[in-house]
A and B are shown apart, each in its own frame.
Chain A
Amino acid sequence: GAVVSQHPSRVICKSGTSVKIECRSLDFQATTMFWYRQFPKQSLMLMATSNEGSKATYEQGVEKDKFLINHASLTLSTLTVTSAHPEDSSFYICSARDRISGHLNTEAFFGQGTRLTVV
Chain B
Amino acid sequence: AQSVTQLDSQVPVFEEAPVELRCNYSSSVSVYLFWYVQYPNQGLQLLLKYLSGSTLVKGINGFEAEFNKSQTSFHLRKPSVHISDTAEYFCAVTRNTGGFKTIFGAGTRLFVKA
**Inter-chain contact total with CB atoms closer than 8 Å:** 55
- In the complex, the answer to whether B41 meets A115 with C-beta atoms within 8 Å is yes
Majority DSSP secondary structure for residues of A touching B: strand
Contacts of B34 in A (CB 8 A): 107
Q: Quick check: which of B15-23, B44-52, B62-70, B78-86 contacts chain A, the rest being far away? A: B44-52
- In the complex, the answer to whether B102 meets A108 with C-beta atoms within 8 Å is yes
Q: Which of B43, B102, B105 contacts A112 (CB 8 A)?
A: B43
- In the complex, the answer to whether A6 meets B102 with C-beta atoms within 8 Å is no
Count residues on chain A whose CB falls below 8 Å from chain B CBs.
Answer: 24
Question: Which chain A residue lies CB-closest to B6?
Answer: A43
Q: Does B14 contact A (CB under 8 A)?
A: no
Contacts of B32 in A (CB 8 A): 106
- In the complex, the answer to whether A34 meets B44 with C-beta atoms within 8 Å is no
Give B29 Cβ to nearest chain A Cβ, in Å. 13
